[in-house]
Amino acid sequence: MSRGLKGGLFQLALLFSLGVGFLMLGTLLVDVFKDGLPYLDKKLLTDPPSTDPEIAGARPAIIATLYLGGLLLLLTVPIGVFTAIYLEEYANKTRWYNRLLEINIQNLAAVPSIVYGILGLAFLVRGLGLGRVLLAGAMILTLLVLPTVIIASREAIRAIPDSIRQGAYALGATQWQVVSRQVLPAAIPGIATGSILALSRAIGETAPLILIGAVTYISFDPTILGPFTALPIQIFSFLRLPQEEFKLLAAASIIVLLGILITLNAFAIWIRNRYRRTW
């Protein structure tokens, strides 16, 4: 085989691999938009679900998803960033308990989400007696994405050259001043990107919420300490109904969910480009 032919075949293989991903996404988008676009109207956003597909909407689910996302950020970002700061800036890496902590966090990131659901059911819903409420859902999603946020924040913090810390120390700054005035501001783009990507993952998550008892049919606006549903669960429940129109309504809801996710990811990319730095 000539060298030119080999190179050509290799490029073909690369294109094929790229094509698989693109084709899947393309098919999904075309299919969903074909079905869902006619049903993507104001009613879907403003009206509660109903047994009549002509008047059914997904308002409670959309609101609950936004609540879940907001609460998730409030809980995840401080805990995740503080953990990352401890591990990167304060922890003595030669100590066994710090190494154990690190390994644990990496393993937690790989635990299936349904397991977090079981944990949430046992400890939050029953153990703490929170009940099947939105707050419990947000807390379980927090636990689910916390390892991701910690790992992303640690990488952002580690990417800051040591010369910056040394320069600040050499001027008589305390460790807290070095961390709060040099390390954290410089790490914000990485932390923000990691947090938003974690948020998008959590918003699409269904299994742990079902397990802790997010209800599938809810016709009023959810509250933090009340029963709730979420957009992916709403989509699932639409699909289980017999009427054909509900399938189309599900497709429209998928478009809404995709819209939220794409907006979040675009925001993450914007932050990354806006604050990109070279040392």
Partner 1 sequence: MVTMSDQATTIEPMSLAQIAQEHGDGFSEREAVFEVKDLAVEYSGNAAIREVSLDVYKNSVTAFIGPSGCGKSTFIRCFNRMNDLVPGARVHGDVLYRGKDLYADDVDPVEVRRRIGMVFQKPNPFPKSIYDNIAFGPRVLNLKGSLDERVERALRQAALWDEVSNRLKESALGLSGGQQQRLCIARCLAVEPDVILMDEPASALDPISTTRIEDLMHELKRQYTIVIVTHNMQQAARVADMTAFFSVDVAPDGNKRTGILVEYDRTSKIFTTPADKRTEDYVTGRFG
Query: DSSP readout, 146-175?
Result: HHHHHHHHHHHHHTS-HHHHHHHHHTT--H
Query: Which of 174/219 has CB closer to partner 1?
Result: 174
What single letter denotes the amino acid at residue 21?
A: G
Closest among 190, 197, 154 to 272, alpha carbons compared: 190
Alpha helix stretches (DSSP H) within 159-277: 162-170, 175-178, 184-203, 207-211, 231-240, 244-274
Query: Which of 42/276 has CB closer to partner 1?
Result: 276
- At residue 85, the 3 state secondary structure works out as helix
Number of H-type helices and E-type strands within the chain = 12, 0
Site for partner 1, rule CB under 8 A? 92-94, 161, 163-164, 166-174, 177, 181-182, 186, 277-279
Query: Which of 143/186 has CB closer to partner 1?
Result: 186
Closest among 51, 76, 61, 45 to 209, alpha carbons compared: 61
Query: Which of 179/249 has CB closer to partner 1?
Result: 179
- At residue 278, the 3 state secondary structure works out as coil
The nearest distance, CB 106 to partner 1, in angstroms, is 22
Query: DSSP readout, 125-139?
Result: IIIS---S-HHHHHH
Phi-psi region of 52 (alpha: psi -120 to 50; beta: other; left: phi over 0): beta
The nearest distance, CB 94 to partner 1, in angstroms, is 7
Query: Which of 146/178 has CB closer to partner 1?
Result: 178
Query: Which of 188/224 has CB closer to partner 1?
Result: 188
